[in-house]
Structure 1
């Protein structure tokens, strides 16, 4: 990969005539970078699409290609990308439905709005992967029909389709009204009974590790059950019996289900696996009594998951915050706090709760300023990035708490150029702060030059438009290819240097 040319291809200041030259000589990497530009002309777009399928697919997904730019015979991947975006021609779908390459038909099966005759053809495809992909994305009517398909892989895909009618999903789980599946991926390939070796040495083997069939297609049916449990359209009563199943995967999937009946939640709260209890704790469907019970769980991951539950009571959250490592993250319950609750949280005797509140970026100015003057560094660190803080308050944070808050102050969108220079000059340097300064829109040339001394900040600063042009030019030859690529993408790179770089 030519990192300098890739960076140059992404440079927003690259003149159109140099874009033309790059399009003509681009390899796949440069073409991919060019395809992400938002200023390509129609001629450049068409020429780039003709360059290769990789670029054409990117352009199709970006919405810059039209059906007139693509030949589906020579560029099937690009045609499929347009069909996937709903911008292709129906005739392409008919053509690709007969494509000898199964991967192309499989990709087509996942496209929306296919003509009915194409759907019929794909539903009878000789490759079961094609039919399964269709079942995964198709309409309720076709999904209901494919639920009776003799192959378990297709039925499993129907179980994952959220448009499948609820009654059909229930039947897939219970088997009521459906004849048993005849085949699965295992018995398609192997004599049964068969259990696939997790360390299978065959390079051409596509069976998943542990896949098994003794005539009952057990691994395929297990996948069907798990998909049905995870499908929110599946009636809860059809899957609640899995709460006592021997399969950890099924219990785990059930614990996160929306609309979980209370009795099932109580049973899963006793599960021996912490991950099951953690997903249950984070489930908004559980009631307050169960939340209070899970708040005392011995597993810290369960308690942390409960803290992330958007319906956790604030008093329970306060207990969790004081005894569980949650981190300075915006919790859903904090984000949804009412004005009265915000005032209550700001006055909380718990520094952990004040810290969690300080992460919000829509606080009233008087509460924001009060948290900025807090005596606890964790609280100040959390509020330091809040827009609207004055220069004086930001400097006071640094004066009072020092290095622990410097990086967050440097990330504040309202930090002045003078403050950023001051933070960059601290000795010893605060490396996380240098990385924030390197990406700050107000960073000055002198501050950015200091940032170049840190390896990670250097990669960011090399692309900053305030970096002096001579320095940007020097960085094109940097030993770190990421630095060189960032410098080549810097809009401050002189046009004559850009012209010299393009062959």
Structure 2
């Protein structure tokens, strides 16, 4: 059963205990009694969906049931050091869960495991676990892998041939470990074949597949291969860095605007192609060309482009936070008149304070949202403004920012937008009457949040413990009296016996 299936199958009494397992005010002995529950759903809630105090973590790690330990192995709320204690778990499935990136919610973001734990996994885990491990490797360890003291770590580093420097590749080819040498040599041969037009011609499949696509985009292509592929695969050829200038010029006049858009992304565009694409009849082509690095601000301004306010454009792709950017280049982007370039700058974690202040008041919503989503020093006023104006992906994630304001949010309790009414429930000073009203809200998520609000009156909490929809939410309310918590556990124990 999936975690979702386990939760849905829980009965009313179990659902109250599930809520209690998530209650941040539950005493340690209550949590330990829940850990001993016969209910898989209760143990799952306790071990998978919250932080746990040290004594409970000790008990989870020593728990005899592998499924229970496995729940904790994939807990995104747990400190990675705590999860790392399961690295040598005797059960295959627990190790497998630890090797996967934990599934987080829209506020809690997963964190990588400690480097020493990842190294231990690489050295001892089965191959079918290691293919999922990449997302848990820190940027620092990834860069250190080709020269790591562990041969198995170097072996994994040798497989990333596309990111190896010539010196790293030479060292791996002469590695004292024969398996590392073999992997480095195999990948070096693959890379050399990719750079050899004759080898690419020989390796190119005659039918569409992943290898066919990969070679047309990244392989060194001979003129005859280009000529044969152009009629059906112009969009792929347009992305290939090896094609000749005359082919690029031909593609810049291709009848398909998607192909011309691909061409407009090429950093090697000549002045003639840039001038032609700057006045292209297709708006997406003009927009793509308008951020070309070879253009001056005046040349950008002369292009008739329009930046979409589609909020899907605002999503910030992940990048290596340990790589220090070229701050001079970032400043140029931040001061550009082009919103898309300012959006690129807004994603930078290392953006200087003066540029943070400047972009926080940017006229483009995308710039403001990306700054709020990414910068650790994003101002509180910006974060709230972004939440109120932005309705796209990761909206609620803004509330997890350390600077997000909470005091005074109760004023939004009557807003038309249910997400904004949820915002009101983040206010620790909300009145009990307002929280009570929101437990009857037409929106189910608002009702759920209200049932957990610590200012909710005690009589309403007690009533909700018998509500089929909100009982588990009420049981998770930190204002729930300790006596009631013990009573819920005791009642469940009596029913089980």
The TM-score normalised by the length of structure 1 is 0.53
1:19 match: 31
Partners in 1 of 2:329 and 2:32 — Cα distance?
Answer: 54
> Any idea what the Cα deviations from partners look like across 1:442-497, whole Å, max 9, x if unmatched?
766566556552516505633765442635555555565xx665555444444344
Partners in 1 of 2:331 and 2:16 — Cα distance?
Answer: 51
Structure 2 residue corresponding to 1:141, chosen from 160, 170, 182 = 182
1:35 match: 47
Aligned pairs (5 A) from 1:300-379: 300-303=283-286, 305=288, 314-315=297-298, 323-327=306-310, 345=337
Q: Summarize the Cα distance change of 1:450–1:110 in structure 2 as closer, same or farther, 3 Å threshold.
A: closer
* Contact kept? 2:290, 2:300, Cα under 8 Å: yes
Partners in 1 of 2:73 and 2:237 — Cα distance?
Answer: 38
- 1:468 partnered with 2:456: yes
Partners in 2 of 1:58 and 1:445 — Cα distance?
Answer: 36
> Any idea what the Cα deviations from partners look like across 1:54-111, whole Å, max 9, x if unmatched?
437526995625468522xxx3233455678443495x65xx6xxxxxxxx6446777
- 1:166 partnered with 2:191: yes
- 1:433 partnered with 2:458: no
* Contact kept? 2:74, 2:98, Cα under 8 Å: no
- 1:455 partnered with 2:443: yes
Structure 2 residue corresponding to 1:245, chosen from 215, 229, 253 = 229
**SS of match in other structure, 1:468:** coil
Q: Summarize the Cα distance change of 1:45–1:340 in structure 2 as closer, same or farther, 3 Å threshold.
A: closer
2:89 match: 70
Q: Summarize the Cα distance change of 1:287–1:217 in structure 2 as closer, same or farther, 3 Å threshold.
A: closer
Q: Summarize the Cα distance change of 1:68–1:318 in structure 2 as closer, same or farther, 3 Å threshold.
A: closer
Q: Summarize the Cα distance change of 1:272–1:57 in structure 2 as closer, same or farther, 3 Å threshold.
A: farther
Q: CA deviation at 1:291?
A: 5.3
1:192 match: none
Q: Summarize the Cα distance change of 1:325–1:228 in structure 2 as closer, same or farther, 3 Å threshold.
A: same
Structure 1 residue corresponding to 2:413, chosen from 424, 427, 431 = 424
1:58 match: 74
Q: Summarize the Cα distance change of 1:437–1:444 in structure 2 as closer, same or farther, 3 Å threshold.
A: same
* Contact kept? 1:444, 1:466, Cα under 8 Å: no
Aligned pairs (5 A) from 1:27-426: 27-36=39-48, 37-39=50-52, 40-47=56-63, 50-51=66-67, 54-55=70-71, 58=74, 62=80, 64-66=83-85, 70-71=89-90, 75-80=91-96, 85-88=118-121, 106-107=128-129, 141-142=182-183, 144-145=185-186, 165-170=190-195, 174=199, 218-219=206-207, 222-228=209-215, 236=220, 241-242=225-226, 245=229, 251-253=234-236, 255-256=238-239, 265-282=248-265, 290=273, 293-303=276-286, 305=288, 314-315=297-298, 323-327=306-310, 345=337, 387=379, 389=381, 417-418=407-408, 420-425=409-414
Partners in 1 of 2:63 and 2:25 — Cα distance?
Answer: 21
Q: CA deviation at 1:245?
A: 1.8
Partners in 1 of 2:436 and 2:257 — Cα distance?
Answer: 49
> Any idea what the Cα deviations from partners look like across 1:191-241, whole Å, max 9, x if unmatched?
xxxxxxxxxxxxxxxxxxxxxxxxx9744x7321323456xxx56557995
Higher RCO, 1 vs 2 (CA within 8 Å, ≥6 residues apart) = 2
Q: CA deviation at 1:44?
A: 1.8
* Contact kept? 1:435, 1:457, Cα under 8 Å: yes
Q: CA deviation at 1:321?
A: 8.3
Partners in 1 of 2:97 and 2:184 — Cα distance?
Answer: 23
Q: CA deviation at 1:47?
A: 0.6
Q: Summarize the Cα distance change of 1:298–1:340 in structure 2 as closer, same or farther, 3 Å threshold.
A: closer
Q: Summarize the Cα distance change of 1:448–1:224 in structure 2 as closer, same or farther, 3 Å threshold.
A: same
Q: Summarize the Cα distance change of 1:228–1:358 in structure 2 as closer, same or farther, 3 Å threshold.
A: closer
Q: Summarize the Cα distance change of 1:449–1:247 in structure 2 as closer, same or farther, 3 Å threshold.
A: farther
1:131 match: none
Q: Any unmatched runs of 5+ in structure 2? A: 1-6, 101-117, 135-149, 157-178, 317-326, 373-377, 493-497
How many residue pairs get aligned? The number is 386
* Contact kept? 1:438, 1:464, Cα under 8 Å: no
2:167 match: none
Partners in 1 of 2:366 and 2:122 — Cα distance?
Answer: 57
> Any idea what the Cα deviations from partners look like across 1:347-375, whole Å, max 9, x if unmatched?
x9xxx899979989966698579x59x8x
Partners in 2 of 1:240 and 1:38 — Cα distance?
Answer: 61
Q: Summarize the Cα distance change of 1:58–1:432 in structure 2 as closer, same or farther, 3 Å threshold.
A: closer
